[in-house]
Amino acid sequence: MTALDDDKHLTDAEIEAPFIAASTTDVESITAISSVSKPDRGDGLVGRFLPPAIMLVIFIGIWYLYSTLAFEQAFQRRNALPYPHEVVEDGFLPVWDERQGIREILGYMWPTVKVTLLGLAISIVIGVCIAIVMNMSKYMERAIFPYAVVAQTVPILAITPLLTQVFGDRLGVRLAVVFLIAVFPIITNTLFGLQSTDRLHHDLFTLNGVNRWTRLWKLELPSSIPALMTGIRIATGLAVIGAIVADFFFNQGDKGIGYFIRVRQQAAADRPDMLAGTITASLFGVVMFLIAGAITHRAIRDWHDSAGSRS
């Protein structure tokens, strides 16, 4: 009788657990709901990849539905919103020809990738330095912060052509566009990390009579790494956008995917190409985001609580 009660109790707890976990925003926990009765608790391949796959199918279904219902004539549809399979056939295929399809798109992607990575690296280095300076004094923080906000809020589409007209079609200007859009989350997150260093840790360092640089190097910077990593992950997505926006306005030198998208937008018949380019560019952003996440996880998994769950 007792054993039976215990057994029942255990089962209740097991059933309850996934629902409690589901109240968090963690994606893994949410997938756990769908597998309450399954032996794998949402950690298997199926639990991980099935939900987003279903969403993709629904999305493509709506796309087909709209393309079919909204346009009376085939040429109207093709010039406005081609079917997904047309994007694949005309945009991505054939794979073997260097002057069309995915090979051509990837050729245009490469300069964009370079500008994104270089611009992101510059944003990280300069952003962290700016945050350190802002952390050194309240007045520095007050002096710099409004302009960090402006860098983020300035309409990047308006300023980019201006920059090209003033400074010319140079790599430096493309990097500046990426920097302008990507540096803000780096600055704010790093500053937040530096400023939320544990007060008792500060006392500990004070007791040891350390100077400002030792404090920065051995206490404040390491403790701000999780926040910095969050900033980098946000900046990664923005850097990709910045690089593509820059591509739109640069006609000299290595032409990027933004140039490809802009040119293929002009002729309506090129719509599948343009969509294929856009999809490739977004996938690049996703890959960058995943890489940044993986680096974060690797960097802090040993010691930081948040590193227990992947994202």
Partner 1 sequence: MTIATGDTIAGGAGRSIAAPRLTFEHLSMVFPDGTHALDDISFTVSPGEFTTVVGPSGCGKSTLLRIASSLERGFSGGCEVDRDSIGYVFQDATLLPWRTVRRNVELNAELHGVSKSERAERSAKAIELVNLIGHEDKYPKQLSGGMKMRCSLARSLVLNPSVFLFDEPFGALDEITRERLNDELLRLHATEQFAALFITHSIAEAVFLSTRVLVMSARPGRIIGDYQVPFGAERPHDLRFEPEFAELCGRINDDLKDAHE
**DSSP letter, residue 88:** I
Site of interaction with partner 1 (CB under 8 A): 198, 200-201, 203-210, 214, 218-219, 222-223, 225, 300, 302-305
**Closest to partner 1 by CB, 221 or 274:** 221
CB of 233 to partner 1, least distance (A): 19
Residues 6+ apart with CB under 8 A from 282: none
Nearer to partner 1 among residue 126 and residue 225 (C-beta): 225
Nearest to 52 by CA among 241, 290, 242: 290
Q: Say which residues have a Cβ less than 8 Å from residue 140's Cβ, sequence separation at least 6.
A: 133, 134
- Give the nearer residue to partner 1 in terms of CB position, either 66 or 303: 303
CB of 24 to partner 1, least distance (A): 19
The phi and psi torsions of 7 (rounded to 5 degrees) equal -60, -50
User: CA 134, CA 121: separation in Å to the nearest integer?
Assistant: 20
CB closer to partner 1, 39 vs 209:
209
Length of the chain in residues, anyone? 311
53 vs 204 by CB, closer to partner 1 = 204
- State the nearest-atom distance from the C-beta of 229 to partner 1, in Å: 13
In angstroms, give the least distance from the CB of 209 to partner 1. Answer: 8
In DSSP notation, 136-195 reads: H-HHHHHHHHHHHHHHHHS-HHHHHHHHHHHH-S-HHHHHHHHHHHHHHHHHHHHHHHHH
CB of 222 to partner 1, least distance (A): 5
